[in-house]
Amino acid sequence: MSDITQSPVDSSVIELSDSAGIELSGVTKRFLTPSGSIYTAISDVNLVVRPGQFCAIVGPTGCGKSTTLTLVAGLDRASAGSVKVGGHEVSGITRSTGFMFQADALLPWKTVLGNVMLGPAFRGVSKQDAKATAMEWLRVVGLVGFENHHPHQLSGGMRKRVSLAAALINEPSILLMDEPFGALDVQTKAFMSDELLALWERTKPSVIFVTHDLEEAIALADKVVVMTAAPGTVKAVYDIDLPRPRGAVQEVRFHPRFLELHQQVWAALREEVQAAYERTAEPPPSTELAGRSRSTSAITPTRGDLQ
Amino acid sequence: MTRGGDNRKLAALAAVRSEIEPAMAGAQAAPPGLITVGPETGIAARARRRRIWMYTARVATLVVVIGGWQLFTKLKIVDPFFYGQPSGIVLKFRDWAEHGTAFGSIWTEIWVTMREALLGFAFGVTGGIIFGVLLGQVRFLADVLGPYIKALNALPRIVLGSIFIVALGLGTASKVVLAAVLVFFVVFFNAFQGVREVDRNLIANVRVLGASRFQVIRHVVLPSALTWIIASLHVAFGFAIIGAIVGEVLGAQHGLGLVIFNAQGNFDANGIFAAMVIIAVIALTAEWLIGRLERRLLRWRPPAITDVPGI
């Protein structure tokens, strides 16, 4: 318990070696729809995130990006295939995971401090220690003075910073982010991305960052995974060899290498976005299944696997 | 872009900043939830005037209704024998205070009814919350019991009062059970719905943070359902009083219901109205207390932009 009271900066050295790799092989997830038919959200997904690697997943809407995250977090079970974190098959909630949701997942009836304290409190840390750690993290994300505010009293960007502190307070070895900054305005988003990178570089957890913003993905990640239109599977993987630390994300955007990578990834992504768009734009097919199988066949066979 | 355009942009930026910065500084300095208002503004004065008018109109409404009632019965346009008379009701109160009712002191009668209503309320609310949360959490149980609960709810449960009187006698128990049954369903359906409406994201979030099933209920499900549960308490207390009074009318040795029933038998309209006034005072007091509880427990909610008092 003693390291809990220390500042998160000091313990970063210990955590570095703890960051766990993530390995998905042949993962398929099917859901039973309310109408009784079976919907395949993702099919045969293969993906490896090395310990400490920052991996972004991009893909058209509804391609199962979020589903992939819930499987890694252990919130849901894969229908087929194996999901491993730190070399262990995921069963139950994955330990040492931070999760940031697209929507606000802060408890509205708790104060900022109460929300950030949840992580240590659930691990049985004493209230006093949990409070001290939470205050430390509020200082890190620049929210000192707001600890007794309720979430509705904060701006969207501030709420995201609280979520970030709450997700990172347990010093997770993997960090899963589901379009965390999707609802923010462009300026706040850029600012939050910088902040996220700075925090990530301290403890280097393995990250899966789901987004539909390609620029954001390339600016942040070591590796960008493009997923196909539903049922989602890995279409291509791109290593982002931009130097680290990246600095401000707004500036890295003008790096020649950034533009080059952007062009490459966008070429792959565009087909999928188009396929997903056409499916919703076309007149509805006679049955749900027919519509799905047609779009599946439209997927180009350039499917890349693994890292 | 021309120079003039640039200048305009800069000026606009400066204007925005000068607006934002004091606001930010204010947000940092002011204690949470407090907005300091300088010298009284026109808005505040107008709001106060509006409030004064509202209270005046409220009192005037009461005077017109009671005064009209008194006047019409005095002029014999309406027969006070059937419809009572405000002055007669006041006399009735004095009579009860001085000589008591036919069954004992008026305070005893009030206490008997209140005890029945409060006990029924307590049991009904507790049961409603427990079963609501349980069925809201355990889908299988909800699917199995759902149709039966709906069927029970569809019954006119007042009729159960007769069963309870037969089974449990003329004492307190039968009224408490009737009140509890009436309260139970109101609270149960709200608690159940409240639990069902809990944001899945919130639950997923605390589960990832390591919450046990019990901790999920304690930190997420219950606080989230509380909005629904408390909303139901207002209606539920009304049902508790209905249960107690109806139970007493069906068969009792004490209580306001019995006083009303007796007044009805004696064609004593003023007695019925007087008992009604007492019940109204009890109900309004309870309503006020529940309102305070609501504000206290739901302090975290964002304040409504226009705080219109509910009716």
Question: Do both B169 and B72 map to the same domain?
Answer: no
Establish if B308 belongs to a structural domain: no
Establish if B270 belongs to a structural domain: yes
Question: Do both B104 and B69 map to the same domain?
Answer: no
Q: Distance from B111 to chain A by nearest Cα, in Å?
A: 37
Question: Do both B262 and B234 map to the same domain?
Answer: yes
**Residue-range definition of the domain harbouring residue B19:** 1-36
Q: Distance from A151 to chain B by nearest Cα, in Å?
A: 9
pLDDT averaged over chain A?
A: 80
Asked whether the beta carbons of residue B209 and residue A108 sit closer than 8 angstroms, the reply is: no
Establish if B309 belongs to a structural domain: no
Asked whether the beta carbons of residue A75 and residue B208 sit closer than 8 angstroms, the reply is: yes
Residue A99 sits at the chain B interface (C-beta within 8 Å):
yes
Question: Do both B73 and B96 map to the same domain?
Answer: no
- Note the pLDDT of residue B123: 97
Question: Do both B230 and B251 map to the same domain?
Answer: yes
Q: Please determine, for residue B239, whether its predicted confidence score (pLDDT) is greater than 60.
A: yes
Q: Please determine, for residue B290, whether its predicted confidence score (pLDDT) is greater than 80.
A: yes
Domain CATH number, residue B103: 1.10.3720.10
Question: Do both B99 and B60 map to the same domain?
Answer: no
Instruction: Give the amino acid at A287.
Output: T
- Note the pLDDT of residue A186: 84
Asked whether the beta carbons of residue A122 and residue B202 sit closer than 8 angstroms, the reply is: no
Establish if B304 belongs to a structural domain: no
- Identify the weakest region by mean pLDDT among A154-158, A185-189, A239-243, A247-251: A247-251
Establish if B310 belongs to a structural domain: no
Closest-CA residue of chain A to B227: A109
What's CA B218's distance to the chain center, in Å?
A: 24
- Note the pLDDT of residue B126: 96
Asked whether the beta carbons of residue B32 and residue A98 sit closer than 8 angstroms, the reply is: no
Establish if B226 belongs to a structural domain: yes
Lookup: tokens for B276: 């009604």
Q: Which of B205, B222, B305 to mutate to test the interface with A (most CBs of A within 10 A)?
A: B205
- For residue A146, the chain B residues in CB contact (below 8 A) are 32
Q: Cα-Cα-Cα-Cα dihedral of B29, B35, B39, B43, to 10°? A: 160
- Note the pLDDT of residue A267: 87
Question: Do both B59 and B180 map to the same domain?
Answer: no
- For residue B224, the chain A residues in CB contact (below 8 A) are 109
Question: Do both B64 and B93 map to the same domain?
Answer: no
Q: How many CA atoms lie within 13 A of A144 on its CB side?
A: 8
Establish if B302 belongs to a structural domain: no
A19-96+171-297 placed in CATH 3.40.50.300: yes
Hey, which residues 121-140 in chain B have their CB within 8 Å of chain A? none
- Note the pLDDT of residue A7: 40
Question: Do both B144 and B165 map to the same domain?
Answer: yes
Instruction: Give the amino acid at A99.
Output: F
Asked whether the beta carbons of residue B208 and residue A93 sit closer than 8 angstroms, the reply is: yes
- Note the pLDDT of residue B30: 44
Total domain count for chain B?
3
Question: Do both B106 and B239 map to the same domain?
Answer: yes
**Confidence grade of residue B310 (pLDDT, cut at 50, 70, 90):** very low
Establish if B139 belongs to a structural domain: yes
Cβ(A226)–Cβ(A59) below 8 Å = yes
- Note the pLDDT of residue B188: 94
- Identify the weakest region by mean pLDDT among A161-170, A242-251, B200-209: A242-251
- Note the pLDDT of residue B238: 92
Identity of the residue in B208, B211, B219 whose CB atom sits nearest the CB atom of A97? B208
Question: Do both B92 and B234 map to the same domain?
Answer: yes
Asked whether the beta carbons of residue A75 and residue B207 sit closer than 8 angstroms, the reply is: yes
Question: Do both B102 and B231 map to the same domain?
Answer: yes
Mapped onto helix, strand or coil, the DSSP state of residue A14 is: helix
Q: Please determine, for residue A255, whether its predicted confidence score (pLDDT) is greater than 70.
A: yes
Identity of the residue in B199, B205, B300 whose CB atom sits nearest the CB atom of A99? B205
Q: Distance from B32 to chain A by nearest Cα, in Å?
A: 6
Asked whether the beta carbons of residue A101 and residue B301 sit closer than 8 angstroms, the reply is: no
**Confidence grade of residue A280 (pLDDT, cut at 50, 70, 90):** confident
Q: Report the alpha-carbon distance of residue A176 to residue A75 in Å, rounded.
A: 12
- Identify the weakest region by mean pLDDT among A121-125, A212-216, A286-290: A286-290
DSSP string, chain B: --HHHHHHHHHHHHHHHHHHHHHHHHHHHSPTT-----SPPHHHHHHHHHHHHHHHHHHHHHHHHHHHHHHHHHTTSS-HHHH--HHHHHHHHHHHHHH-BTTB-HHHHHHHHHHHHHHHHHHHHHHHHHHHHHHHH-HHHHHHHHHHHHHHHHS-GGGHHHHHHHHH-SSHHHHHHHHHHHHHHHHHHHHHHHHHTS-HHHHHHHHHTT--HHHHIIIIIHHHHHHHHHHHHHHHHHHHHHHHHHHHHHS-SSSHHHHHHHHHHTT-HHHHHHHHHHHHHHHHHHHHHHHHHHHHHTTTSPPPSS-PPP-
The arithmetic mean of pLDDT across residues A73-100, rounded, is 87
Model ipTM over 0.90: no
Q: List pLDDT tens digits, range B2-42.
A: 444 444 444 444 444 444 444 444 444 444 444 555 555 78
